[in-house]
């Protein structure tokens, strides 16, 4: 069994891990903050996000873009400057904004879940929005069954469809457009975030199944890392190491949910 080591604790629901500036950045969803992590140290709160942070990523220029889920907005943050609101979708969102990824040419993609997780019955009406700070936001894919983690591989966008239990692949066209949709892999569970390691393989957390599976670029299942007793949320890769975001969730007597999240490390080999 793969050895798991604790990198950092003190999160609620750690999402969208991104390596930047020698540190791991985390969207700590239910603690309403974006945090910076260095293994062995307490998480450092960089931004408080009252609208609840969702997906985030860094642009090629080093700006942080992040989406919020309680208000359908996209913000930009530059170190030493005030946060800037770039886009507000208002009430025209079904469900919530979810994960986000930035491409090399300034375009970013953010998923719209299609329904409210934990409140509504799952329906396959999620969408993907393409966003550019200079050109705005528009819908580029529909009927995506709860779009979640994303990675850009060449001219393709790879997307986790959580309730579709699959990885889908889209060709990236001009101005953030998506077409040529394909199923890359059918999965034995519900994918959340994902990452690509140094060998070109995809690591995919299966949220309710408490494991991270390794998938080849052709969609073949290769191996897995078990996180027994913890929900598998997201992951990030650096060199030959993986950072794994996990959490336990317990319902309290008053009906609230108690979420305890952490970041673990494991070898991608």
% residues pLDDT > 70 (the chain): 99
Percent helix, strand, coil in the chain, to 5, is 0, 60, 40
Tokens of 269: 């080999």
pLDDT in tens, 24-81: 999 999 999 999 999 888 999 999 999 999 999 999 999 999 999 999 999 999 988 9
Specify the residue for token string 């945090």. 35
pLDDT in tens, 196-255: 999 999 999 999 999 999 999 999 999 999 999 999 999 999 988 999 999 998 877 776
* Model confidence, pTM: 0.94
pLDDT at residue number 92: 77
- Domains in the chain, start-ordered, CATH in brackets? 5-267 (2.120.10.30)
pLDDT in tens, 139-196: 999 999 999 999 999 999 999 999 999 999 999 999 999 999 999 999 999 999 999 9
User: Which neighbouring-strand residues pair with 18?
Assistant: 25
pLDDT at residue number 39: 87
% residues pLDDT > 90 (the chain): 84
Instruction: Collect all residues with Cβ–Cβ distance below 8 Å to 101 and sequence separation of at least 6.
Output: 55, 57, 108, 109, 150, 151, 152, 157
Instruction: Collect all residues with Cβ–Cβ distance below 8 Å to 234 and sequence separation of at least 6.
Output: 14, 15, 16, 17, 149, 192, 193, 194, 195, 205, 245
Please tell me what DSSP assigns to residue 87.
Answer: E
């Amino acid at each position: 069994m793969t050895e798991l080591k604790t990198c950092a604790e003190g999160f609620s629901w750690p999402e969208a891990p991104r390596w930047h500036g020698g540190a791991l950045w985390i969207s700590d969803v239910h603690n309403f903050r974006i945090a910076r992590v260095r293994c062995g140290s307490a998480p450092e709160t960089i931004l408080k996000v009252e609208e609840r942070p969702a997906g985030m990523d860094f642009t090629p220029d080093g700006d942080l873009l992040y989406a919020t889920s309680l208000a359908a907005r996209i913000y930009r943050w530059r170190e030493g400057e005030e946060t800037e609101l770039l886009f507000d979708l208002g009430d025209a969102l079904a469900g919530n904004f979810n994960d986000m990824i930035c491409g090399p040419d300034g375009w970013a993609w953010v998923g719209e879940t299609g329904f409210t997780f934990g409140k509504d019955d799952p329906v396959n009406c999620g969408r993907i929005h393409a966003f550019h700070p200079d050109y705005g936001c528009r819908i580029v894919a529909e009927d995506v069954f709860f779009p979640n983690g994303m990675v850009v591989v060449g001219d393709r966008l790879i997307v986790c469809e959580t309730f579709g239990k699959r990885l889908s692949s889209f060709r990236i066209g001009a101005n953030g457009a998506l077409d040529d949709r394909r199923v890359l892999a059918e999965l034995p569970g519900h994918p959340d975030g994902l990452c690509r390691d140094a060998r070109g393989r995809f690591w995919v957390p299966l949220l309710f199944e408490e494991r991270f599976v390794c998938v080849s670029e052709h969609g073949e299942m290769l191996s897995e890392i078990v996180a027994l007793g913890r929900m598998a949320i997201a992951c990030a890769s650096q060199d030959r190491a993986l950072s794994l975001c996990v959490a336990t969730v317990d319902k309290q007597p008053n009906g609230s949910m108690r979420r305890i999240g952490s970041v673990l490390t494991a070898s991608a080999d």
